[in-house]
């Protein structure tokens, strides 16, 4: 009876497997990015740029557009939007990925593009005394942000890399820290600062107690990279895979319904660093990334070679690392002022 009523005003018609609606353009873009293991931040950025591209061309489908339309969009970003060169390059990368991997209609590199100017800026670098002053101020702001800052400066890490650390990535016996899938999906090792070990040990003890409490309530799982959750289902609750800096709140995974815990949100540390900079009266516009710049510069000052520092920072091109040589050669560091020679 139910079968006769389907599609005749009674029950809704049963959708056949072969009649499912095809994925939307943005849905297909997300699938392509996740299949190729792009980071969630890159996925969000690429999706946003494709949306802006479609809106710019009055909601025309990208299949109807081509190289000249891409060039027009990128040129408008530079001339009307005033975006930086790196932002314009990110938009171009998103559109090239869309045409190559999703639409399977690769376009050539746009030639008629008004390029945004890339300013030549030196990174903000703190002196050793200023680093010590800022770290001391962070101690008063919060225990966890203080420890995160110790690793930012002591190991030369990006903030995202510190927060993505898992317990298994710390080798306290060998004083080595492993960064997994850093920028460019590259792994690397960097020294684990010995000065941070006592604080790190007490912090991990607290995190382990928190993990045990979570396990006792049926939670205690974390998200795993790629398909590891299917290959090793028990790894999600394994202590070795837990975040070194877990978030205070838990969440329920929409797909599995499991109560899980993510790592600490970066804004927690960013706000703490801003507060510490104001508290200690630094005039330099220091941020979380300033610790990484200071790490590289201070290693150069100590006589370490560029190739070693390049590996520690995870730079693909040594020219990226060479910017710190310009920091060392600034004005008063390399040249004695003639005013001082007047006696």
Q: Which residues are catalytic?
A: 158, 183, 289, 292, 315, 324
Residue 204: C-alpha distances to residues 158, 192, 238, 240, 336 (Å)? 20, 15, 14, 11, 48
Token pair belonging to 17: 């497997």
Residue 74: C-alpha distances to residues 67, 95, 316 (Å)? 11, 10, 26
Question: For the CA atoms of 192, 303, 156, 177, what is the dihedral angle to 10 degrees?
Answer: -20
3-state helix, strand and coil shares in percent for the chain, rounded to the nearest 5:
55, 5, 35
Cβ neighbors of 226 (< 8 A, separation 6 or more) are 37
Burial 256-290 (b: 16+ CB within 10 A, else e): eebebbebbeeebbeebbebbbeebebeeebebeb
Sign of CA dihedral 282, 286, 291, 294: negative
For residues 198 and 140, what is the distance between their CA atoms, to the nearest angstrom?
A: 18
């Amino acid at each position: 009876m139910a079968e006769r009523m389907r599609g005749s005003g009674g029950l809704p018609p049963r959708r056949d497997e072969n009649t499912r609606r095809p994925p939307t353009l943005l849905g297909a873009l997300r699938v392509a990015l996740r299949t190729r293991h792009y980071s969630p931040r890159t996925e969000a950025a690429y999706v946003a740029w494709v949306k802006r591209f479609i809106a710019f061309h009055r909601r025309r489908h990208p299949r109807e557009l081509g190289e000249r339309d891409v060039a027009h969009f990128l040129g408008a970003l530079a001339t009307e939007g005033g975006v930086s060169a790196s932002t314009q390059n990110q938009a171009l990368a998103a559109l090239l990925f869309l045409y190559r991997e999703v639409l399977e209609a690769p376009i050539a590199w746009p030639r008629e593009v008004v390029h945004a100017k890339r300013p030549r800026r030196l990174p903000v670098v703190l002196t050793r005394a200023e680093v010590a002053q800022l770290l001391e101020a962070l101690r008063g702001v919060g225990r966890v942000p203080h420890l995160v800052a110790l690793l930012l400066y002591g190991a030369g890490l990006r903030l995202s890399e510190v927060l993505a650390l898992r317990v298994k990535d710390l080798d306290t016996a060998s004083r080595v820290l492993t960064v997994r899938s850093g920028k460019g999906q590259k792994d690397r090792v960097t020294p684990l600062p010995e000065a941070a070990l006592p604080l790190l040990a007490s912090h991990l003890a607290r995190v382990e107690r928190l993990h045990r409490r979570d396990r006792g309530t049926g939670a205690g799982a974390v998200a795993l990279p790629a398909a590891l959750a299917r290959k090793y289902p028990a790894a999600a609750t394994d202590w070795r895979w837990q975040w070194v800096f877990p978030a205070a709140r838990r969440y329920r995974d929409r797909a599995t319904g499991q109560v899980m815990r993510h790592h600490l949100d970066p804004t927690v540390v960013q706000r703490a660093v801003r507060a510490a900079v104001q508290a200690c009266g630094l005039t330099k516009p220091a941020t979380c990334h300033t610790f990484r710049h200071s790490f590289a510069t201070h290693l150069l000052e100590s006589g370490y070679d560029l190739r070693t520092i390049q590996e520690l920072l995870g730079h693909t091109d040594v020219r990226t690392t060479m910017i710190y040589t310009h920091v060392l050669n600034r004005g008063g560091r390399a040249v004695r002022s003639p005013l001082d020679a007047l006696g």
